[in-house]
Amino acid sequence: MTRARTLGELKATGYRPRTVKDELRANVIARLRAGDEMFPGIVGYENTVEPQIVNALLSKHDFILLGLRGQAKTRLLRSLAQFLDEFVPAIDGCPLNSDPFEPLTHHARQAIEVHGDAAPIRWMHRDERYQEKLATPDVTIADLIGDIDPIKAATLRLDYSDERVIHYGILPRTNRGIFAINELPDLQPRIQVGLLNILEEKDFQIRGFPVRIPLDVAVVFSANPEDYTNRGNIITPLRDRINSQIITHYPLTREQGMAITSQEAWGHRDSGVDVVIPQFMRELVEEVAIQARKSEYVDQNSGVSARLPIALLENLVSNAERRALRTGEKSVVTRVCDLQNAVSAVSGKVELVLEGEQEGAMAVARALLGRGVKAVFQQRFPDAFKAKGRRRGQSAPEPEAQAASEYRPILEWFAGGQPLRIGDDMPSAAFASELERVMGLAGLASKYLEPANAGEQAVAMELVLEGMHQSSMLSRERTDTAVTEYKDMLKSMLSGLGDD
């Protein structure tokens, strides 16, 4: 479609200006009527956060997203640009993107006075109309709003009260668009005061000179509740002017978390190795984050970002990829032991409380991996310990008796005195062959984990052994040579006593 290039051509099209918030409201209404997805790529907020954002846009509100780290706040703010018109006209060369029918600056007014209907028009794409600023303690009023430029004043021989000597900040330059401030509490209180007029009166002043320019801008914010006490605060008058406060959250279910992790993690590599991730391994990765959000060693006020399972899954794939490149295999399945080499994705993603600091970051990270394995094992497999609380002579119900009997062949095999040793870098065939030695292990893994092929079957058997260890049914030792050894629990305890 041919767009108007001059003010006269624009008038001929019947164009009528509208404010940014009117524009956002109209496009949200059109999206709702069409039944289209409101925020593509955002998982888990469909019935909680998204309706509140839509309500704020329909109400023409400035709003703030309040939530812990890794809850997609910035992504949500950036996605607001999709509700702007694809293109809007502006007077060419105007630093504040003046509407052709409502010129704000001296440059815009002069262009219309000199050229009349021949004044040149440029068209702004919606992506140009979204700007954001990360709030830091060193941000100044000049950065956000602007300042007097004495060089301009001296060069043009103008008074400081003349708008032509203003060096505009990022916020006025976002006129007719959306401006986002991330981590608002980090902004110093005296700088937050500078936003009051923009939110309420929709204008701004520079220093003490009577230069008042009305802006058309939608202002949105993000903040972490932890910052209210640790690094700063949102001043009360500014809080009062932010019309809607929307609380974000972590995935409400493990399935939502898995969908986010699968969407964001880099899993398809270009090394020529096909890395397969079984479904139960994806569950395990997500469960590690869930356990971290429950752990007494982790500061829950700080939160556990959704970036933890994303980074963990990527490291898991990388370790499997590294093993395949060394062994020369074209296809490889991620293993439970790969998590031990991916632990760096956990240790740096959690803030520890005092008890956690005393334990050490790596120790806490490995403990979280173990808790994740135990949780998946308990969810997938029957409890072998339920029948132990029965009085002598009292028969156990059928399901409990069956549960105990399903683990018995494995426990008896280890009680026979032979340990099982598997190395992290073992080729797939040798890895599977070693695990198949354990009596009853393959059947139990197949029944409850439902592996899709032989490669997944071997990893499922490994998960059973690790789950039994985390449930205190087997002993496990891990050597510096990346070899994991599973043994009978009782014999390990007795051998320790003998050493003493």
**pLDDT tens track for 87-118:** 999 999 899 999 999 998 888 999 999 999 99
Distance (Å, whole) CA 203 – CA 196: 9
Answer whether 461's CB lies under 8 Å from 278's CB.
no
The pLDDT tens digits for 428-454 are 999 999 999 999 999 999 999 999 999
Decide which of 380, 396, 428 is a domain's last residue: 380
Q: Is the pLDDT of residue 389 over 50?
A: no
Distance (Å, whole) CA 180 – CA 130: 8
Give the model's pLDDT for residue 491. 66
Q: Structure tokens of 450? A: 């439902």
Q: Across residues 400-413, what is the average pLDDT?
A: 79
Answer whether 20's CB lies under 8 Å from 97's CB.
no
- Identify the helix (H) or strand (E) that includes residue 485: strand 483-488
369 and 393 assigned to the same domain: no
344 and 421 assigned to the same domain: no
408 and 355 assigned to the same domain: no
**Domain total in the chain:** 3
* Burial (CB count <10 Å: 0-12, 13-18, 19+), residue 338: buried
The pLDDT tens digits for 7-52 are 999 999 999 999 999 999 999 999 999 999 999 999 999 999 999 9
Residue 6's DSSP bridge partners are 120
11 and 134 assigned to the same domain: yes
92 and 152 assigned to the same domain: yes
DSSP result, 402-421? HHHHHHHHHHHHHHTT--EE
Query: Does residue 256 lie in a domain region?
Result: yes
If we measure between CA atoms, which residue out of 241, 250, 190, 197 comes closest to residue 220? 241
148 and 267 assigned to the same domain: no
Q: Looking at 35-44, 140-149, 301-310, which range is the least confident one?
A: 140-149
Which residues, other chains included, contact 383 with Cβ-Cβ below 8 Å and sequence gap of 6+?
400, 403
Distance (Å, whole) CA 488 – CA 218: 65
User: Rounded mean pLDDT of the chain?
Assistant: 89
Look up the CATH number of the domain holding residue 99. 3.40.50.300
224 and 274 assigned to the same domain: no
358 and 390 assigned to the same domain: no
Q: Structure tokens of 447? A: 């029944």
Query: Does residue 1 lie in a domain region?
Result: no
Residue span of the structural domain in which 142 resides: 7-247
Q: What is the largest CA-CA distance in the chain?
A: 104
Contacts 24+ apart (CB under 8 A), 99-106: 99/17, 99/176, 99/216, 100/7, 100/10, 100/17, 101/15, 101/17, 102/17, 104/175, 104/213, 104/214, 105/163, 105/213, 106/163, 106/164
243 and 271 assigned to the same domain: no
Query: Does residue 2 lie in a domain region?
Result: no
Decide which of 227, 247, 267 is a domain's last residue: 247
Give the model's pLDDT for residue 20. 96
Query: Does residue 372 lie in a domain region?
Result: yes
Confidence category of residue 391, pLDDT binned at 50, 70, 90: very low
232 and 331 assigned to the same domain: no
Query: Does residue 481 lie in a domain region?
Result: yes
Distance (Å, whole) CA 465 – CA 454: 17
164 and 219 assigned to the same domain: yes
Q: Is the pLDDT of residue 388 over 60?
A: no
Q: Is the pLDDT of residue 230 over 60?
A: no
Give the angle 245-247-248 at the CA atoms, nearest 5°.
140
The pLDDT tens digits for 352-377 are 998 888 889 999 999 999 999 999 99
Look up the CATH number of the domain holding residue 285. 1.10.8.80
Q: Where do the DSSP E strands lie in 99-235?
A: 121-125, 130-134, 146-148, 166-168, 177-182, 203-206, 209-214, 217-223
Q: Structure tokens of 304? A: 């556990």
Q: Is the pLDDT of residue 226 over 80?
A: no
Q: Is the pLDDT of residue 390 over 50?
A: no
Answer whether 191's CB lies under 8 Å from 235's CB.
no
Decide which of 380, 396, 420 is a domain's last residue: 380
Give the model's pLDDT for residue 254. 95
466 and 490 assigned to the same domain: yes
Query: Does residue 498 lie in a domain region?
Result: yes
Of 225 and 139, more confident:
139
Answer whether 219's CB lies under 8 Å from 195's CB.
yes
Query: Does residue 387 lie in a domain region?
Result: yes
Give the model's pLDDT for residue 320. 95
Which residues, other chains included, contact 111 with Cβ-Cβ below 8 Å and sequence gap of 6+?
91, 92, 93, 94, 103, 119, 120
